[in-house]
Amino acid sequence: MIPPRHLRLPAPTAWLFLTPALLLLVVFRLIPALSAVAHAFTDWDGVTAPTAAGLANFGQLAHDPVFRTAVGNNLLLVAAVPVWLLVSLVLALLIHQEVPGWRFFRASFFLPSVLSPVIVGTLFTALLRSDGPVNRGVQLLGARGFRVDWLGNPNTALPTLTLVILWGIFGLGVIVFLAGLAAVPSEILEAGRLDGATGWTYLRHIVVPPLRHVIEFWAVNLVVWSFTSLFAFVYVMTGGGPGYRTMLVEYQLYLQAFELNRMGYACALGTALFCMVFGVVLLQVRLMTGEEE
Amino acid sequence: MAPRTLATAFLLTLLAACSKPPAPPPATTPTPAPSTAPVTLTIWDWHATDPSKPIGKWLAGIDQEFQAAHPGIKLNHVGQSHTEYYEILKATFSAADKATCPDVVMLHQGSRILDQEPSLIALTPYVTDDFRAARVGWDLTCKGYDPKGVPLAVPIAVQGIVWYYNKALLKQAGVDASKPPQTWDAFLAAIAKVKKLGKSGIAVGEKEGFWGEWWINSAWLQCLSDADAKALTAGTLKWTDPRVAPIFEKLKELNDKGCFQDGAMSTPLFPDAGEVFMRGDAAFFLGLISDVAHWKELGEIIGPENLGGMTCPVFKPGQGADRFPTGGAFAYAVTKWSQHPREAFDYIAFVGSDQHADSFLKDVGSFPANQHYDAKLMTDPNAKEIAGWMTAGRAGHQLTEAMPTAVSEALKRECQRILSGQTDVKGAMEAVEKVAEGERARAKGK
């Protein structure tokens, strides 16, 4: 929305305020990103001078089974985004309705969000050990022979990682939705209850419509995060294993760049990752705005 | 002030800040000669991280001695994480600002050194014939794996992979601990007896894949000749060749027969798997002969009298079947960004000197690359036995040490996939061969 003329700043003043942010953006985002795209077309070890490789890196990418596995794993994480959204939304709603102990829950839900992913990962790695407290707890409940290697079993490693990530970030979602709910006129929520809407109906027809833009914003954020910001969890908890079962594109990029000295290929991975995220977000925004129209 | 004036002033200030600073006035005094200027050497390794461990203590003591003997040199010894060491190194070497690059770096012998070749100086001007003759391991620190070739690093230690066993536990299980199981069948039978006690056969840490790599380095001697190993590295023997298969088949067999402790796939090798063995919860442990997880460290916990060492159980009796793999120990190199390569090499030579070879053996419990050590210092029965294997010519090399890092990485991942039931032996061999083929094509292209 364009502000009214009397509120608009003169161009030089606007540029004055914009310049520091633009400078930072150009120096620390745009130039490195463009440099990475340029290096994606080279064979480069990161130390010696790069040599032109044309589309060789992208050709290899198309036939790389590890890349395919990593993309598949990333998409499975994206598929979990609705669950991440729903958990945060329901919990936010309960706190907003001031259920008993809501102040405690509000603080405790947010706590994991202020912990570094390294700490969260280390904590859960210890809890989920084969002889760790989670398995012991289940055994105490009566399942004597129960022992699952949560992070070492190929069937449980990715779902377990997804749940840990959910635990690590759901609190932030709760806060975002609480802020959104605070802006919703209480009469709307109250009217919905008086009209007898409960459970899923209440959530879907009363709560979601006024929160639509907040949900969209948070959904886009989660999708971007699921592609680009889960490195620390994987690094600490599984190293992409067992085998490639929890390999994500960003972790493969790291291995190629820093473990295998293949910076050119890593840049190609980065470029592909950017295109994927951009494509998925574009599709997501189109779908959401399309629904709205 | 008008906004336009304010903006102009700001932009001018910004431009001034970004512009080149004025040149300093010409120096009125000559620059001091390099020999008299104070020198700071930055050394990176993964052992100095923990001075409570014998090797960390050993390095700290050497640093003190060196600085006392070289008052003009100050050492900045930085302990880096072992797990992320090469990633940190890579990031530093790739950085535009080389001022943060260390002078001296610790590296594993073998492909890790050759991978870093663009960042290292050739040590030819410093390595004399006598210096070279006193040490072993040059085949893993010189260009082209040629022991007489251009040295890129100085070997400090001799590493090897040994099967350690807990004598007390074997005895309790009814296995004759004085004669460790030498054959594959005897090995499996011993594990079966240990399992009846409620203990595990082998303590394994496969979270990072290192254990799988150690297994391959230990097992290849049972089914391949040295010529086969060279052919495998060169690509004239494929990873899909039936001669290679027993390495993966026996690994799968161990897994299928439940020889490992629970949770092996998510257990880190260091220190967790070693601790399983040291607690007496497993009878066997694939350990090292130097640095860490070795005869001294293990013996100090379970008692040297309860610790035994053996080579890999023999798959099929034959030539080389009773050998054990050596190589891959640490070495020191000088980076090409060092301003003081002479002093950097002097430091390396000091660490690997005759006197420190003795203390390395005595205090750290590791085998030094410098062969001028006092053999009388070796009193531990396991150390004596391992040294005896070496002098008897039973030392082979590690299969992965001359392989491209990408192939080693693929081997680790495929071992994990076999152990977690995601692939079979054939699938694993084909996957490794595909990576090896790609690496050969890359090398050819270069």
Contact A170, A112 (CB under 8 A): yes
Contacts of A153 in chain B (CB under 8 A): 265, 420
Tokens read off for A202: 């209440």
Question: Residue B8 and residue A218: Cα distance in Å, rounded?
Answer: 40
Report chain A residues whose CB lies below 8 A from the CB of B209: 239, 241
User: Which residues of B have a CB under 8 Å from any CB of A?
Assistant: 3-4, 6-8, 10-11, 14, 86-87, 90-91, 93-94, 115, 118-119, 206-209, 262-267, 405-406, 409, 413-414, 416-417, 419-423, 431, 438, 445-446
Best mutation target, A23, A35, A42, A47, to test chain B (most B CBs within 10 A): A47
Chain B residue whose CA is closest to A11:
B4
B206/A257 touch (CB, cutoff 8 Å), yes or no:
no
Distance from A144 to chain B by nearest Cα, in Å? 15
Q: Which fold is adopted by the domain A65-247?
A: MetI-like fold (1.10.3720)
Is B161-231+247-325 in the same CATH topology as B39-159+327-372? Answer: yes
Rounded CA gap, A200 and A234, in Å? 34
Query: What pLDDT is attached to residue A258?
Result: 87
Q: Find the CB nearest B118 among A47, A147, A149.
A: A47
Residue with tokens 């599709």: A283
pLDDT of residue B6: 40
Q: Tell whether the model's pLDDT for residue B214 goes beyond 60.
A: yes
Non-local CB neighbours of A146 within 8 Å, separated by 6+ positions: A135, A138, A139
Domain range annotation of chain B: 39-159+327-372, 161-231+247-325
For residue B358, the model assigns a pLDDT of: 93
What ipTM, to 2 d.p.? Answer: 0.87
User: Which parts of chain A register pLDDT below 70?
Assistant: 1-3, 291-293
Q: Is A48 on the interface with B (CB under 8 A)?
A: yes
Alpha carbon distances (Å) from B444 to A288, B47, B416, B438, B440: 50, 36, 30, 10, 6
| Assigned superfamily of B161-231+247-325 | Periplasmic binding protein-like II (3.40.190.10)
**Helix, strand or coil for residue B77?**
strand
Residue range B209-230: mean pLDDT, rounded:
94
CA A103 to chain B, closest CA, distance in angstroms equals: 38
Residue indicated by tokens 């930085």: B78
Nearest C-alpha in B relative to A239: B208
Every domain of chain A and the residues it spans: 65-247
**CB-based contact B206 A131, cutoff 8 Å:** no
Q: Which residue out of B266, B272, B407, B408 would a mutagenesis test of the A interface target, given it has the greatest number of A Cβ atoms within 10 Å?
A: B266
Q: Does A73 lie at the interface with B, CB-CB under 8 angstroms?
A: no
pLDDT tens per residue across span B343-373 = 999 999 999 999 999 999 888 888 899 999 8
Q: Sheet of B154-155: strands edge to edge?
A: B73-79, B39-45, B104-108, B330-334, B154-155
Which residue does chain B place closest to A128, by CA atoms?
B266
CB contact under 8 A, A154 and B6: no
Select from 3.90.1150.10, 3.40.190.10, 2.60.40.420, 3.40.50.720 the CATH code of B39-159+327-372: 3.40.190.10
> In this structure, are strands B104-108 and B39-45 parallel, antiparallel, or unpaired?
parallel
pLDDT value of residue B209: 94
Question: Are the Cβ atoms of B118 and A45 closer than 8 angstroms?
Answer: yes
d(CA A71, CA A176): 28
pLDDT in tens, B7-52: 444 333 333 333 333 333 333 333 334 445 689 999 999 987 677 8
Number of H helices, E strands in chain B: 17, 13
The confidence score (pLDDT) of residue A2 equals: 65
pLDDT at B253: 98
Contacts of B438 in chain A (CB under 8 A): 60
Angstroms from B308 CA to nearest CA on chain A: 28
**What is the nearest CA distance from A239 to chain B, expressed in angstroms?**
7
Structure confidence at residue B3 (pLDDT): 44
What pLDDT, on a 0 to 100 scale, did the predictor assign at position B108? Answer: 92
Point out the residue among B4, B417, B445 whose CB comes nearest to the CB of A12.
B4
A259 touches chain B (CB under 8 A): yes
A239 with B90: Cβ contact below 8 A: no
Residues in chain B: 446
- N-terminal to C-terminal alpha carbon distance within chain A: 18
pLDDT for A117 equals 93
What is the rounded distance in angstroms from the CA atom of residue B424 to the CA atom of residue B427?
A: 5
pTM of the model: 0.84
The per-residue DSSP string of B123-178 comes to -TTT--HHHHHTBS-GGGTBGGG-TTS-BSSEE-EE-BEEEEEEHHHHHHTT--TT
Pairwise CA distance, residues A88 & A178, whole Å: 9
Instruction: Using pLDDT thresholds of 50, 70 and 90, give the confidence band for residue B153.
Output: very high
In this complex, the residue of B115, B207, B420 whose CB is nearest that of residue A243 is: B420
Look at A152 and B6 and tell me if their CB atoms are within 8 Å.
no
Q: What pLDDT band is residue B291 in, cutting at 50, 70 and 90? A: confident
Output B263 or B98, whichever has higher pLDDT.
Answer: B263
In angstroms, rounded to a whole number, what is the distance separating the alpha carbons of residues B300 and A267? Answer: 48
Q: What is the pLDDT of residue B4?
A: 46
What's the pLDDT at B34?
46
Contact residues on chain A for B4, CB-CB shorter than 8 A: 10, 12-13
Mean pLDDT, chain B, integer: 88
Q: Do B420 and A10 touch (CB under 8 A)?
A: no
